[in-house]
């Protein structure tokens, strides 16, 4: 009966169904954020004539960043695939706290509802919510309050999910014997720890700002003895670890895939990989001040934040060279789309990391701060790095979750189209920044017209690549080419797991069979 089936899905405690809910909501939000970014780029087709009004432009840049970070990348990359992979790779039937897991998922729905209300009312304060711009005197729209409520609920959802992930991973991981599967478990453990430490600080900052707006307090109002710079400290104490929250699952996945392509039971330098992630977590909590070099930090504080930011490049370099070593010793077919995406991840993320080293120098950052150079760096590191991680998650685990293969030639075309779109859209922004073109400004000098046109073309290509990915997934479900034929079949078609042991293949097949994926 359809009612009973619907009832079973609404009140489900199954981590697979909850993960599917997260992924569906995240993909929907991702296309919403992609549409907002396309409107931003279309607005730059003309240098002085704005396609949309200045207020609408502010609404677009505010909601684009929030939607992509809090409602696309985190639900898909952290919560969605985390729900699938942690029990699967930990050998568990479900997460340790299934009711808490279901609660964290359902909290995300009213959060998206408040986001939609705020978009209809208008909230043009920028995604960091800096006061005094976010104060009642400058932003009278109640959409700002609804957007803060939305972030409160999204943060609560992530916080509850992090507690669940930590409890589950600690119950199944063994520190003395780290198998290849546990690299992803370590990544999700560190991600959850970062969220558990940083999210309460963001919640406190937003709560204080809500009190300033609605109850007459003056936490960030200098006229009442407050300090607006305090909000920046609190926001970036969350904001910079959030970058690693979104990239650490990708680090774990790349390590896992590279070891699979290398046909080794454990990744090269597994202790170094895990230790590098631990160092990134520790150092990432200490570098929030490099977003604030122009607020008047004293020279000792600026040098500290600048130095620690540069040191983060060391553990990141350890991971990159470990991946390159494993890839150089692999016998994988170079035509594999997964291999193409791994190379793309390494190249784009490394390029974004190099521009991050440039911005970590307080002298250079004072020149490039709040220009398009920062936008280019941010998108190369987090947007492209995390988005490629999402694509790799789908490519690697889609056959395991659904039991169906993906079209190899469509995946190759998708990779090429995506790379063209990414680089056309974001690479010219470095030039804008070095020329001093400020971001969050909807008008520009006509000498930048041609380059902006190229960026807009790249944005259109990127939108097409996103639609193509959904078509590839839909085509897989339509054609229904079965991956695994039997539990004892160790030679998996489509080279599904690339070097995973036959026992693990059998375990995954039984897992999928138990989940009801093979009909």
The answer to whether the beta carbons of residues 124 and 140 sit under 8 Å apart is: no
454-465 burial: b if 16+ Cβ within 10 Å, else e: ebbebbbbbbeb
The answer to whether the beta carbons of residues 473 and 406 sit under 8 Å apart is: yes
Q: What proportions of the chain, in percent to the nearest 5, are helix, strand and coil?
A: 75, 0, 25
Distance CA 20, CA 469 (A): 17
Annotate 20-33 with three-state secondary structure.
Answer: HHHHHHHHHHHHHH
Active site residues: 64, 94, 127, 157-158, 240, 242, 244, 255, 290-291, 316, 319, 439
CA distances from 261 to 328, 345, 508 (A): 10, 16, 18
Residues 6+ apart with CB under 8 A from 195: 78, 158, 159, 162, 245
Q: Which two tokens stand for residue 500?
A: 């995973």
CA distances from 25 to 22, 46, 78, 148 (A): 5, 34, 13, 19
Q: Which two tokens stand for residue 124?
A: 């043009």
The answer to whether the beta carbons of residues 123 and 209 sit under 8 Å apart is: no
Distance CA 231, CA 183 (A): 35
The answer to whether the beta carbons of residues 321 and 270 sit under 8 Å apart is: no
């Amino acid at each position: 009966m359809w009612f009973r089936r619907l009832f079973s899905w609404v009140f489900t405690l199954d981590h697979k169904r909850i993960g599917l809910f997260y992924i569906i909501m995240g993909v929907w939000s991702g296309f919403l954020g992609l549409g907002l970014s396309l409107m931003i780029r279309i607005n730059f087709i003309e240098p002085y004539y704005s396609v949309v009004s200045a207020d609408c432009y502010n609404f677009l840049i505010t909601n684009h960043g929030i939607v992509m970070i809090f409602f696309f990348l985190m639900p898909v990359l952290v919560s969605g695939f985390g729900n699938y992979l942690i029990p699967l790779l930990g050998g568990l039937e479900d997460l340790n706290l299934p009711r808490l897991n279901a609660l964290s998922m359902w909290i995300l729905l009213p959060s998206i509802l408040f986001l939609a209300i705020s978009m209809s009312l208008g909230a043009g304060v920028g995604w960091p919510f800096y006061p005094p711009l976010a104060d009642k005197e400058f932003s009278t729209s109640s959409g700002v309050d609804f957007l803060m409520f939305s972030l409160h609920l999204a943060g609560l959802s992530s916080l509850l999910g992090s507690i669940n992930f930590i409890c589950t991973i600690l119950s199944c991981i063994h520190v003395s014997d780290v198998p290849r599967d546990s690299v992803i478990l370590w990544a999700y453990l560190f991600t959850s720890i970062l969220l558990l430490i940083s999210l309460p600080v963001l919640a406190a900052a937003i709560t204080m700002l809500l009190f300033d707006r609605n109850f007459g307090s003056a936490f960030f109002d200098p006229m009442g003895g407050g300090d607006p710079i305090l909000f920046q400290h609190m926001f970036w104490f969350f904001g910079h670890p959030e970058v690693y929250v979104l990239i650490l699952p990708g680090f774990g996945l790349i390590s896992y895939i590279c070891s699979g392509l290398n046909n080794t039971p454990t990744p090269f330098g597994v202790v170094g990989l895990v230790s590098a992630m631990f160092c990134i977590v520790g150092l990432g909590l200490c570098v929030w001040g490099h977003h604030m070099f122009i607020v008047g930090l004293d020279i000792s504080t600026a040098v500290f934040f600048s130095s620690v930011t540069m040191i983060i490049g060391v553990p990141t370099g350890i991971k990159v060279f470990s991946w390159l070593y494993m890839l150089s010793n692999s016998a994988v077919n170079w035509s594999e789309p997964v291999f193409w995406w791994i190379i793309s991840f390494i190249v784009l993320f490394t390029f974004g990391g190099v521009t991050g080293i440039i911005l970590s120098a307080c002298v250079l950052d004072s020149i490039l701060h709040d220009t398009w150079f920062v936008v280019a760096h941010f998108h190369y590191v987090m947007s492209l790095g995390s988005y490629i991680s999402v694509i790799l998650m789908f490519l690697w685990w889609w056959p395991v979750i659904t039991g169906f293969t993906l079209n190899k030639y469509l995946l190759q075309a998708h990779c090429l189209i995506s790379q063209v779109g990414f680089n056309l859209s974001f690479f010219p922004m470095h030039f804008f920044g070095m020329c001093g073109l400020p971001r969050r400004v909807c008008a520009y000098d006509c000498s930048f017209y041609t380059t902006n046109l190229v960026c807009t073309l790249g944005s259109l290509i990127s939108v097409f690549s996103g639609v193509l990915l959904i078509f590839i997934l839909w085509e897989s479900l339509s054609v229904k080419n079965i991956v695994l034929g039997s539990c004892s079949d160790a030679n998996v078609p489509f080279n599904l797991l690339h070097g995973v042991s036959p026992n693990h293949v059998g375990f995954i097949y039984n897992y999928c069979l138990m989940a009801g994926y093979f009909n």
